[in-house]
Structure 1
Amino acid sequence: MFYYVLKYVLLGPLLRLVFRPRIEGLEHIPPSGPAIVAGNHLSFSDHFLMPAILKRRITFLAKAEYFTGPGIKGRLTAAFFRSAGQIPVDRSGKEAGQAAIREGLGVLRKNELLGIYPEGTRSHDGRLYKGKVGVAVMALRAQVPVIPCAMIGTFEAQPPGKVIPNIHPVVIRFGKPLDFSRYAGMENEKAVLRAITDEIMYAILTLSEQEYVDRYAAVVKAEEAAESAAKARPFRRMPLS
């Protein structure tokens, strides 16, 4: 119930007023039945803008950190995400990917829409990064279509670290559903999963027109963070021999 209160009474009207999103390709969202909506991830606001404009309910796999924050703020954030029907997924450890797949398949078994960001994390620089194959595994196991989606302008509206969004035009663009039934029963083939994921990412790229980076975003973030930390360390003068 809180999901629909947010959508139609509290958050939805506010997001539409502030961002005035332009929607393209909404006819590609099936009126019923399970499907995966796979999109790029540029901003914290992505989680709320798409549910605000879709007629159907959509459930996102959200990082567990949104549900485990300390203090009053952490508890309020966790309560908000749970009430909005979002599912926490622990992205650490070897079982992280399998946990996300289990939760996603549970949503699809209920004939609902599942929202997923194949990049696995928000883009820190506005570029589109290599997708993880979990989306392909779920599409094959559940035998559902994948609808590519591009969020355009949300990075400028609310870049990483910015709490209060800027007033910036936003476009939400959906592409034609991708059918992978020709790969049925091949969800354990690594080459097949990689090919499917790359096809999904190419469809997103075509819609978003971002610059593409054929590397995982989390790896690039970690490398840049390590480089920044190294530069910040004080210079140590070597002793003279």
Structure 2
Amino acid sequence: MLYGAMKVSVGAGLKVVFRPRVEGREHVPARGPAILASNHLSFSDSFFLPAVLDRKVTFIAKAEYFTSPGVKGRLTAAFFRGVGQLPVDRSGARGAGEAAVRSGLEVLERGELFGIYPEGTRSPDGRLYRGRPGGLARVALASGAPVIPVAMIGTDEVQPPGKLVPKVLRPGIRFGEPLDFARYRGMEGDRFILRSVTDQVMYAIMRLSGQEYVDVYATVAKRQLAEEARARKRKSAQE
């Protein structure tokens, strides 16, 4: 009930104000389980993507969004639950991965849509980074659900990283043809299969988005950029 109310209020507001361009919506099934695997440019991706679909889309989110104290914390938790996000404790990499897989399978077993960002975090510079096989591929192979590649376009311009107030620009959302990995079902313990499945999905996303692909993890790129920024700051202070 809360999701329905939030869907109407938030979703309708986003469509009226930002008028997102949508392509390939017919590739999302009207019923039954499916995985929406998307690139990740902005915090707003998890709001724009569900807003353009009639069905509920469930993402996973940091547990901190649901456990912060005080009135603000309770309101934040209610908001994220209302827009269909599930809390996952990311304090341990392995535990977080297992929790994400369990959450995804539970969503799909209910016949719903599960949204996931294979890069694992937002792109630091608008490029597409290597997908992490631990979540997407394992959920796809264990469930047998089709994977629908999704390209978010321009959402990083609507809401750049670190900016709270978005700019009123028109983002784009492109849905690709479903990818069927049923031939690999039951092989989610094979790391080579997981890597192959993930790479196929990332290639489909790259074709849809037109992004430059970088064959490293986004988390590694973020660390490198942070180190370079610190080095420039030290150099500037010495001059």
TM-score for the superposition, normalised by structure 2: 0.93
* Deviates further, 225-234 or 49-58: 225-234
Q: Is the aligned partner of 1:193 residue 2:221?
A: no
1:51 aligns with 50
Aligned residues: 236
Report sequence identity in percent. Answer: 61
Greater Cα offset, 13-22 or 175-184: 13-22
What is the rounded CA distance, in whole Å, between the counterparts of 1:84 and 1:169 in structure 2? 21
Supply the RMSD in Å over aligned alpha carbons: 1.8
Q: Offset of 1:82 from its aligned partner?
A: 1.8
For the residues of structure 1 that align with 2:18 and 2:29, how far apart are their CA atoms? 25
Q: Report how far residue 202 of structure 1 moved.
A: 0.5
Deviation at 1:227, TM superposition (A): 3.1
Structure 1 position 16, deviation (Å): 0.8
Secondary structure of the equivalent of 2:180? coil
1:120 aligned counterpart, secondary structure: coil
CA shift, 1:229, in A, is: 2.9
The alpha-carbon deviation at position 164 of structure 1 amounts to 1.0
Change (3 A) 1:168 1:30: same
Partner of 1:68 in structure 2? Answer: 67
The corresponding residue for 2:172 is 171
Structure label with greater radius of gyration: 1
Distance 1:82 1:156 in 2: 26
After superposition, the Cα gap between the structure-2 partners of 1:127 and 1:15, relative to the gap in structure 1 and judged at 3 Å, is same
Which sections of structure 1, spanning at least 5 residues, go unmatched? none
2:47–2:83 CA contact under 8 A, matched in 1: no
Structure 1 length-normalised TM: 0.92
Distance apart, 1:90 and its partner CA: 2.2
Q: What secondary structure does 1:149 align onto?
A: strand
Q: Which amino acid aligns with 1:64?
A: A
User: How far apart, CA to CA, are the structure 1 residues paired with 2:196 and 2:101?
Assistant: 18
- Which residue of 2 is the match for residue 112 of structure 1? 112
Write the letter of the residue equivalent to 1:90: D
Match of 1:122 in 2: 122
Change in Cα spacing, 1:160 to 1:69, as seen in structure 2 (3 Å) is farther
1: CA distance between counterparts of 2:151 and 2:160? 16
Q: Given the superposition, is the C-alpha separation of residues 183 and 171 from structure 1 closer, same or farther in structure 2, using an over 3 Å criterion? A: same
Displacement of 1:2? 1.6
- 2:230 is paired with a residue whose SS is helix
Gap runs ≥5 in structure 2: none
Instruction: Tell me the distance in 2 between the aligned counterparts of 1:49 and 1:186.
Output: 33
Q: CA deviation at 1:70?
A: 5.0
One-letter amino acid matched to 1:31: A
- Whether the 8 Å CA contact 2:3–2:81 is kept in 1: the answer is no
Show the 5 A alignment for 1:1-241.
1-8=1-8, 10-93=9-92, 94-133=94-133, 134-233=135-234
- Indicate the SS of the match to 1:119: coil
